[in-house]
Amino acid sequence: MTPFELAETYIQLRKKCVPTTWADTALLVNELLFAPILFGFLLFTGNLDIFMGFSSLSRIYEAWMDWIRYNDARFLVQDMFLVTMSTGGPFIRTNDPQYMPYVFADAVTRTQLRSG
């Protein structure tokens, strides 16, 4: 994955995994914590409908995979930040802090082109 693809992935996943409103936070907590507990309880008691089970399991799986991918991307963006600072960057600027991963991707790309 190129640095700019990583930056785009990180920004998209941050929108999902770092909600800004309390309602979105409640939905995320529900998908990551309460839904798996309820799924396990219904499965254990034998009251789980097959269609509801597959639907719930797919939502739970997707939410957890997004959360894991977000944390992986977060650490890779942090690494790009450290490369940016160690090379004397950033070389471009943005007024919106949301798009700082693109600034870091630019610095990493410039560093790769120089050494490459």
**SS3 readout for 90-104:** CCCCCCCHHHHHHHH
pLDDT given at position 15: 95
Of the chain, the percentage scoring pLDDT greater than 70 comes to 99
Decide if 111 contacts 83 (C-beta within 8 A): yes
DSSP for 51-86 reads: HHHHHHHHHHHHHHHHHHHHHHHHHHHHHHHHHHHH
pLDDT exceeds cutoff 90 at 114: no
**What predicted TM-score, i.e. pTM, was given to this entire model?**
0.90
User: Which helix (H) or strand (E) is 87 found in, with range?
Assistant: none
pLDDT given at position 89: 86
| Residue ranges of domains in the chain | 3-115
pLDDT given at position 47: 92
Tens digits of residue pLDDT in 28-83: 999 999 999 999 999 999 998 999 999 999 999 999 999 999 999 999 999 999 99
